[in-house]
Amino acid sequence: MPFRTYLLLTPDDLKRVLKAFGLTYKRTTGDHEQWHGTVKGLRRVSTVQLIRGTYSTDRMKRVIENLGLSPEEFYRADSKIAKRYFGK
């Protein structure tokens, strides 16, 4: 069964995945949180916009690319999200 390239996540889902990769919360400015950590040996900073609902496909693509991951690697980090993404 084919799956979508990008599963649309809520801010809480995104934060759960970032925690799974070892990123930690650093600060909030307005409605944006900054998360810092190391992914695949490289220092990464990810910004989480605090919105209601889910992020767009474009935003999910940018977040995943910013972390230097493939969509499969990204969604596999959290078991609940992996079930939704892979359908298992």
CATH of the domain at 29: 3.30.920
The structural domain count of the chain equals: 1
Q: Is 46 part of a structural domain of the chain?
A: yes
- pLDDT for res 88: 67
Contact assessment for residue 66 and residue 75, using Cβ atoms and an 8 Å cutoff: no
Q: Is 2 part of a structural domain of the chain?
A: no
Q: Is 54 part of a structural domain of the chain?
A: yes
pLDDT in tens, 42-57: 999 999 999 999 999 9
Q: Domain containing 54: what range?
A: 22-86
pTM: 0.90
- pLDDT for res 5: 83
Q: Is 56 part of a structural domain of the chain?
A: yes
Q: Is 41 part of a structural domain of the chain?
A: yes
Helix intervals (H) in the chain: 11-20, 57-66, 71-76, 79-86
Mean pLDDT for all residues in the chain:
93
Q: Is 6 part of a structural domain of the chain?
A: no
Tokens 């949180």 sit at which residue? 33
